[in-house]
Structure 1
């Protein structure tokens, strides 16, 4: 282990090979004996005989090793096994180095001490470290103060709040706050203290609940935001942002002061400070938008933006024209637009009068900055206000379309962005023939502009196509022009530039156009399938074309799903699967978009897909065995259902091939949660297609579904565990649909169906209770199952269907506002009356 200093020196070499060798040696030393490794690193960090860079690196590696114990299996319980003598020496070595006269080493030691402290404090050990650091944080020795403040901040960052007592928290916050006061003259100390307070903010919850303590904290920050030093102002505004985000509910008493310091910063301060000041209002707005969209009794909207709306509008509209550059860098222009967006969403019509006046005044001005600002205002206010208030914007649409053809690049970019926002939130304004006939040609012209502008135009087209799909605006004549423009755009030599990703945008627009266009476009879609397959084949051998592979598969998936039966021939199907196989081999694995395209092809070819099962089967097995990606496993699991559904009666000959992997998914503890849900959905498809051929699997299958049903009965609160709530909701719906398909598919096996039907009905009646917050799918399946059982089996199911709970449930939906549920309930009721 004496060679460790030499290995560290090698790690600092300018030669790549030497550094790589040192990394391997360090890993070997760590694995050989982690305790000695950490102990020796602490000794090297503390040794004055070792060069400064080596000491610094020793501290960093020690920090990384101890901080990331859970990342390597052999280290998970390592700290619990370290001898107390070794732990104490590591503590002494790292803590003592905080007094080093070299700042770089103090910084490294601060990180090392904090990593040890986090492990110890989580185990209720080394509690005195907090007292030591707090005492040194008020030392007259500036080096001690700096190192101790740093260490306190690092220690609190990521530490669970339960590991510190209220006394320890108060002492930490007090020590840090002492170095943030106006009387602290050392700017370096002040900046370190602000950063440390930021890291410790989670621990201040109790302090923010007490007004007197909250006032002290807020006053410190507010005064710091107007400090003469720019870096101090920046760090205080960053801290203020975290405070607003963490303690939104307590900000009501400080709105006037927040307005004063933020408005002053936007109007008078340097760009970095001004942007942070605007972000304060953006953060408040984001919180209020979230609370508006997902209202909870204990998280009300406090109405801060509504209180400040008039003053904020003045600030935003007088500064939104401040464009800093053509690049994508965040500037005052974009920041004002962002705040205006959340302001419109929260306060709705309150923003409209001032904004409409601004648009009318500036949309035709000679100064391009003012015209661009008017565009940004339009795009920012289209979501939130009422349609009645939005309508006057429509008269500006011809001017917006005109600005897509301006010479000024920034104006063109903003015009494309504004059209995209209008298409998303106010598409009916654009679909008016008077405006559509001006906007669409301008967007198509924009596809020939710079990648950034063309990309904006693509997303504008995507939104417009999606939102207008119900009125089938994109008929054949229009379709051909848009299709051609997007193909040219996707094939541009500069389309794959990573920054703007025009290629992705163009192919996404093509896929959307194919999905949403009217039926008279189908011949044109079918004619181009071969071209896309050829493109996939031409680019199949390069792993650098990952994005292109995925994009082309998206387009082909849309084309297969829209093509009419019989229009995809064997040559095309075979060519696609061969090209896709080459792509899979090139990438050494399958990918989601390719699997989805196979599913669409299976759905189109129906029984004719049987000849390609030999090609597709290995990809399914390979993916489900590896279980590398939830999204990919879900797509492959869905593919099994797609193929079974497409094959129809032919699927009966392959029932084992379909059932076994899906049932294996349900048995395995390694299967992702959503893949289990999808497995049940795909089993529904298999049963619907294979019917009685699934009987050999029935008992095992029912046992697996019963296990899933028992798991799904758990009640979870959405606001406490939203992901788990959504999973159980999806699981219950999947099981209900499975049972519905099972009863329909096995209608010829009456004895077996009657045997398991009471379990099915009991489950569906249980999950139909209000406490489970059932949606349309659960009620549709439950009513359908009741009706099917009555009509298929009559008096044989009377005992468990002709009961009060079932009959009252059916009666309830006979007066439902949902026509589909009402019809199902009447049909089920007729069935009940017959038995």
Structure 2
């Protein structure tokens, strides 16, 4: 690269590509500043247009490729040594703006991506106060982005896709990163462009202005953005009927983001009727526009005032169901998006004002699930779509059941429909497809909570599917190439474990006829190397639920369970504290072990408390270990579990628990900092003082 006249274009390009790969692989610590300077100098040289190369067409083409690769290399350098770029910034601003203004598209794309990379670094550095390049050069960069990228839409561009070769989309992404980096400072630089072009006669101008407005909504303050958005809201609502599909799509995308980031000051009781009329009409547009309109409705539902949408809930649900049923929805993301929006609308609704609408939805979705299982299958695509639809409908049922179970006034609706719901879910599980099994089990867990003791009548038919969920992962564990499938089955196991906990809470000791087989599976799974470690904490928590449900009958399992809990506690103590991911897992494991102790202590305290005396000391030692960890390795939820477990131990054994001085010391310290008004804190302090 540095030998004048002796390097071919191909050699230069290969050299720059190699530098780029090297920069991607090495860390900041692997290079000293002088080496970074050398890399930047070489890259900048590679960007300069050769006077001689223009004489030959082929050579000219190669020069463009070299400049492209040089920018790609520079993108890698940004993350390698952001601070080291400072002395080169003036030159890099000139090089990148020239490239965006008039170079080949491939070169311009990389020039824009360079600034996106700088933004990524500055966003990460904001908390340290080191970001400065974007703010300094913002007045020079924003106008070029607006005019030279956002205005260069392609007629056939994939709206709704993530086309990294589309200069307009890449420019909008960069503009959004500018907004997140500098905040309010970007608003005045974009305002004139938006106001001048948003109602222009040319579709490119209208689309670019709308895209610019939508791109800067995350980062600046609501106070700074509200005037610009309020002024143009009616224009945007009208633009949902624009003759150009690109304008309609970008308008829907921008409205979606407005309702997400500026919901409170923009949406009022006065303009909401107009907004809802527009959205419910626009949801009948082409599928990619419909998807963004669904997102806009979702963000409206998530607003602070859940009552605002109550008058429109029936029409919203009707429109979403219709969108999900359209033919084109099967070939796009629309169906999934429509049902996801329906879920959020139900979750966020004011139940007191909309209970009848949601109640009517329950048998409707149950019927759709039954219908989905009878669709004719003529191809692999048909099978995939059917499975996705069934899983989605199971998820919708779960959300509706959870919503209606929230109050005693509406829980009876679930009870009335429980038989039909359970029959449809059992039939769905019978397909033996893991994706459906997982979602159906989640819905069954919600149904168990809603129906309580009445759920017992479903257990004989359900139990074989519970067993399948607990052991299916073993079918794939011996095949290395089936690792992904095994992980999916492990997820199913985790969900099934959670559902068992829900059923225990619903049935109490009525779970006893099934406890032997459940405990056998759980103990085997805890000792299985084939089961992903993330499933093991939920298993310990589930064991606590079982103990709480069956009470003194848990004596049968006590010795082996406490033995494996002690082994798990030892695993926590031996973990590598420098491994952040492993420490996060360790906290979950600690909490679950404590939850298992609590369930066992509560379950046995009335009839079999004396059996627990030998196991008090291991619990003390485990708690001492937790408090011996450095502060940054402690977790609030773990400390809460400690308090509850020790309270349960004191309630079960009283003075026989023989708390060590170390445990008493740490617990007194802990409870001194707790709210003295809380019930558990009072009980625990009372026990300690005794």
TM, length-normalised to structure 1? 0.71
Closer, same or farther: CA 735–475 of 1 in aligned 2, 3 Å:
farther
Closer, same or farther: CA 352–578 of 1 in aligned 2, 3 Å:
same
Q: Which residue in the other structure is 1:349 paired with? A: 184
Measure the CA separation in 2 of the matches of 1:589 and 1:250. 49
Measure the CA separation in 2 of the matches of 1:206 and 1:532. 54
CA contact (8 A) 1:684 1:742 kept: yes
Structure 1 residue 334 displacement after superposition? 1.9
Measure the CA separation in 2 of the matches of 1:751 and 1:670. 36
Q: Does 1:604 align with 2:450?
A: yes
1:206-253 CA-partner distances (Å, limit 9, x unpaired): 997344443332122122234352222222222222232344343333
Structure 1 residue 419 displacement after superposition? 1.9
Structure 1 residue 504 displacement after superposition? 0.9
CA contact (8 A) 1:365 1:371 kept: yes
- Which of 562, 571, 576 is the matching residue for 2:403? 562
- Which of 491, 494, 498 is the matching residue for 1:638? 498
Q: Which residue in the other structure is 2:361 paired with? A: 528
Measure the CA separation in 2 of the matches of 1:713 and 1:588. 35
- Which of 610, 620, 626 is the matching residue for 1:767? 626
- SS state of the match for residue 479, structure 1? helix
After TM superposition, the structure 1 = structure 2 runs for residues 265-414 of structure 1, keeping only pairs within 5 Å, are 265-292=99-126, 301-319=130-148, 320-328=150-158, 329-330=163-164, 331-395=166-230, 396-414=232-250
CA contact (8 A) 2:28 2:80 kept: no
- SS state of the match for residue 496, structure 1? helix
- Which of 319, 322, 338 is the matching residue for 1:506? 338
- SS state of the match for residue 413, structure 2? coil
Measure the CA separation in 2 of the matches of 1:203 and 1:604. 53
Q: Which residue in the other structure is 1:38 paired with? A: none
Q: Which residue in the other structure is 2:668 paired with? A: 807
- Which of 593, 596, 610 is the matching residue for 1:751? 610
Measure the CA separation in 2 of the matches of 1:716 and 1:196. 36
Measure the CA separation in 2 of the matches of 1:425 and 1:742. 47
Measure the CA separation in 2 of the matches of 1:735 and 1:325. 59
Q: Which residue in the other structure is 2:681 paired with? A: 825
Q: Which residue in the other structure is 1:85 paired with? A: none
1:13-69 CA-partner distances (Å, limit 9, x unpaired): xxxxxxxxxxxxxxxxxxxxxxxxxxxxxxxxxxxxxxxxxxxxxxxxxxxxxxxxx
Measure the CA separation in 1 of the matches of 2:399 and 2:434. 25
After TM superposition, the structure 1 = structure 2 runs for residues 474-489 of structure 1, keeping only pairs within 5 Å, are 476-489=310-323
Measure the CA separation in 2 of the matches of 1:419 and 1:435. 14
CA contact (8 A) 2:269 2:308 kept: no
Measure the CA separation in 2 of the matches of 1:198 and 1:806. 55
Measure the CA separation in 1 of the matches of 2:423 and 2:500. 21
Structure 1 residue 263 displacement after superposition? 1.1
Structure 1 residue 287 displacement after superposition? 3.0
- Which of 532, 535, 543 is the matching residue for 1:683? 543
Q: Which residue in the other structure is 1:692 paired with? A: 552
- Which of 608, 613, 628 is the matching residue for 2:459? 613
After TM superposition, the structure 1 = structure 2 runs for residues 58-69 of structure 1, keeping only pairs within 5 Å, are none
- SS state of the match for residue 471, structure 1? coil
Q: Which residue in the other structure is 1:443 paired with? A: 279
* Greater displacement, 184-193 / 688-697: 184-193
Structure 1 residue 277 displacement after superposition? 0.9
Measure the CA separation in 1 of the matches of 2:278 and 2:22. 53
Structure 1 residue 716 displacement after superposition? 5.2
CA contact (8 A) 2:469 2:492 kept: yes
CA contact (8 A) 2:122 2:181 kept: yes
Measure the CA separation in 1 of the matches of 2:439 and 2:525. 21
Closer, same or farther: CA 281–182 of 1 in aligned 2, 3 Å:
farther
Closer, same or farther: CA 656–377 of 1 in aligned 2, 3 Å:
same
CA contact (8 A) 1:455 1:505 kept: yes
Measure the CA separation in 2 of the matches of 1:554 and 1:383. 30
Q: Which residue in the other structure is 2:98 paired with? A: 264
Q: Does 1:183 align with 2:11?
A: no
CA contact (8 A) 2:429 2:465 kept: no
Aligned length: 638
Structure 1 residue 503 displacement after superposition? 0.8
Closer, same or farther: CA 257–593 of 1 in aligned 2, 3 Å:
farther
Q: Does 1:725 align with 2:583?
A: yes
Measure the CA separation in 2 of the matches of 1:474 and 1:664. 51
Q: Which residue in the other structure is 1:548 paired with? A: 389
CA contact (8 A) 1:814 1:823 kept: no
Gap regions ≥5 residues in structure 2: 50-59, 378-382, 405-409, 474-485
* Greater displacement, 213-222 / 823-832: 823-832
Higher-Rg member (1/2): 1
CA contact (8 A) 1:207 1:213 kept: no
Q: Which residue in the other structure is 1:221 paired with? A: 43
- SS state of the match for residue 326, structure 2? coil
Measure the CA separation in 1 of the matches of 2:434 and 2:561. 33
Measure the CA separation in 2 of the matches of 1:615 and 1:249. 65
Gap regions ≥5 residues in structure 1: 1-176
Measure the CA separation in 2 of the matches of 1:742 and 1:648. 14
1:604-651 CA-partner distances (Å, limit 9, x unpaired): 232233233333333333343332223333222222222222323322
Structure 1 residue 707 displacement after superposition? 1.7
Q: Which has the higher contact order (CA 8 A, sep 6+)?
A: 2
Structure 1 residue 280 displacement after superposition? 0.9
Closer, same or farther: CA 589–791 of 1 in aligned 2, 3 Å:
closer
Structure 1 residue 578 displacement after superposition? 4.4
Measure the CA separation in 2 of the matches of 1:577 and 1:643. 16
